[in-house]
Amino acid sequence: MQLKPSELVLNADNSIYHLNILPEDIADTIITVGDPDRVGEVSKYFDTVEVKKGKREFHTHTGTLNGKRISVISTGIGTDNIDIVLNELDALVNINFETRKINSEKKQLDIIRIGTTGAIQPHINVGDFLLSEHAIGFDSLLRFYDAKHVLNEEVQNSFIKHTTWSKDKSTPYVVSCDQDLAATFMSETMHKGFTATNVGFYGPQGRVLRLKTEDPSLNDKLASFDYNGLKITNLEMETSGIYGLAKLLGHRAVSLNCILANRSTGEFLTNPTEATEKLIEYALKKLTE
């Protein structure tokens, strides 16, 4: 089947619509970061940089480090952007842009998120690193796909019951990292976590400035949820979408987080840039050693 121009949208130079890059511009190992400024903070460690392209919040640098070809791409904030980034990355490697047909042989990408997050358990300190073994999405992204086979409905249903989750909000979904890729980044200093992916930074994460939230005790309920020892550790805004779409598309994904805030103690790291830099160094070392 040939994909119509309205479905597989390409720019005049045959680059993919939003990411604005060509198939040869990306490596098989992709680091995603939220902040476009963080792309350079990662690629400054590369030995060579061959590609620097961008459009909107999606900036890409591709280069090599210790002989390994790596791309770093900014996603901006939120799972709506993750829908664009994951689908367009997959199209770049698994669809022929000349014939507009899906390749019979599929390529698998390794996708590593280097992001920031807020912890909700008191024992996780600001400045610590956390690998999301699982994620629960409060966004509805995966609900638009035929995705039931990659979701953990048992944990989802137990969570809905525990929190008396309102039906007016989308049904939470539970997804997991790729265990083999995750093993590359584990160490004694890395927390293993269950990450909640929210659709916003304020109300959806229980932050009250001037607006009341629908459930003032939501963060307490998240922190007290316990499914056979599996507890929710932190809040951010991309991981569930990355894990869900990566699994559906046949890619491996892992989300690494630097803890900038602890919502249960009220702390926020005084130097978030320094802490994020340490996670970048850690991730690049593990990826290339």
**CA dihedral defined by 226, 227, 233, 238, rounded to 10 degrees?**
-140
Binding status of residue 275 toward ligand R1P by CB under 6 A:
no
d(CA 142, CA 148): 9
Binding status of residue 236 toward ligand R1P by CB under 6 A:
yes
d(CA 232, CA 235): 9
DSSP classification of residue 171: P
What is the smallest separation between the CB atom of 40 and ligand R1P, expressed in angstroms?
A: 15
Which 183-222 positions form the footprint of ligand R1P (CB under 6 A)?
Answer: 201
d(CA 238, CA 240): 6
Pick the binder of ligand R1P from 20, 43, 71, 116 (CB under 6 A): 116
Helix residue ranges, H only, 49-152:
79-94
Q: Which is nearer to ligand R1P, 78 or 94 (CB)?
A: 78
Q: Which is nearer to ligand R1P, 139 or 236 (CB)?
A: 236
Q: Which is nearer to ligand R1P, 35 or 220 (CB)?
A: 35
Binding status of residue 230 toward ligand R1P by CB under 6 A:
no
d(CA 277, CA 258): 9
Which 52-111 positions form the footprint of ligand R1P (CB under 6 A)?
Answer: 77
Which 118-177 positions form the footprint of ligand R1P (CB under 6 A)?
Answer: none
Report which residue type is found at 64. T
Pairing of strands 190-197, 230-231: unpaired
Pick the binder of ligand R1P from 237, 253, 275, 283 (CB under 6 A): 237
**Nearest CA to 238 among 180, 177, 158?**
177
Pick the binder of ligand R1P from 35, 41, 57, 80 (CB under 6 A): 35
Decide: 124 and 117 in contact? Cβ < 8 Å.
no
Residue with tokens 């995705």: 147
Which residue's C-beta sits nearest to ligand R1P? Answer: 34
What is the smallest separation between the CB atom of 78 and ligand R1P, expressed in angstroms?
A: 7
Q: Which is nearer to ligand R1P, 97 or 201 (CB)?
A: 201
Q: Which is nearer to ligand R1P, 8 or 34 (CB)?
A: 34
Binding status of residue 34 toward ligand R1P by CB under 6 A:
yes
d(CA 173, CA 280): 28
Neighbours of 234 (CB within 10 A): 28
Binding status of residue 115 toward ligand R1P by CB under 6 A:
yes
Interacting residues toward ligand R1P by CB under 6 A = 33-35, 77, 115-116, 201, 236-238
